[in-house]
Amino acid sequence: MSIQLIFEFLGTFVFAMSGALAVGEKGQEHDWFGASFIGFVTAIGGGSLRDVLLGSYPLVWVQDVRLLYIILAGIVSAGLFYPVVVKLKRTFQLFDTLGIALFTIVGTEKAISLGFSAEVAVIMGMFSAVMGGVLRDMLTNEIPVLFRKEIYASACMMGAIIYLVLMDLGVERNTTFLAAVIFIIITRLVAIKYNLSLPKFGRQV
């Protein structure tokens, strides 16, 4: 099993958990179907948009039914261990951060493998990572994290660039994957801890 496939599976699992956990973030009451729907959309939203834009059919979760079982496992895990994980500090941010890191590199790698340019690959990596979370936030009546003042999508873009640079330098593929993922995770967690953000757009009134 390739590291790309492992990352795809792991990213799908943690994003499914992230989506299911999100339904309780604001004290919302959802049944298992509602939590499962949000978990499913969170897990496949970014990858599906990526595949549509790249013209890659069938969509990855349609082509590989194992992803559906992995999504189900993530949702069930979130439900069974919910009383435990909600007590852990920043659990939601941790799952979300791990998910975007994994999906960034998976999306970047897929675009490159289909023959697209490095610029397109960086954008597709970012889309893979953030769009599932955007859909999750919209479904749970949250301001999408993409539009908040946190470092989020920019961390994904920088991680994708690092991945491509290391590949061009001839660094071993698995090492490149891990280095880019770790960079995104550290950047995101540091930004959360110290409330870091990019410069604001436009003149402040």
On whether residue 88 sits in a domain, the answer given is yes
Please check the confidence at residue 21 and state whether its pLDDT lies above 60: yes
On whether residue 205 sits in a domain, the answer given is no
Our count of domains for the chain comes to 1
**pLDDT of 73-112, one tens digit each?**
999 998 888 877 766 656 667 778 888 998 999 999 999 9
What was the pLDDT predicted at 5? 76
On whether residue 43 sits in a domain, the answer given is yes
170's CB contacts (< 8 A; 6+ apart) are none
Alpha-carbon span 76 to 72, nearest angstrom: 6
On whether residue 204 sits in a domain, the answer given is no
134's CB contacts (< 8 A; 6+ apart) are 45, 144, 145, 146
Domain range for 145: 3-194
On whether residue 136 sits in a domain, the answer given is yes
Alpha-carbon span 2 to 7, nearest angstrom: 9
**pLDDT of 125-166, one tens digit each?**
999 999 998 998 898 888 887 787 678 899 999 999 999 999
On whether residue 200 sits in a domain, the answer given is no
On whether residue 15 sits in a domain, the answer given is yes
Q: What percent of the chain has pLDDT over 70?
A: 89
Alpha-carbon span 36 to 15, nearest angstrom: 12
Work out the mean pLDDT of the chain and round it to a whole number.
87
pTM, two decimals, is 0.86
DSSP state for residue 205 in the 8-state scheme: -
Amino acid at 72: L
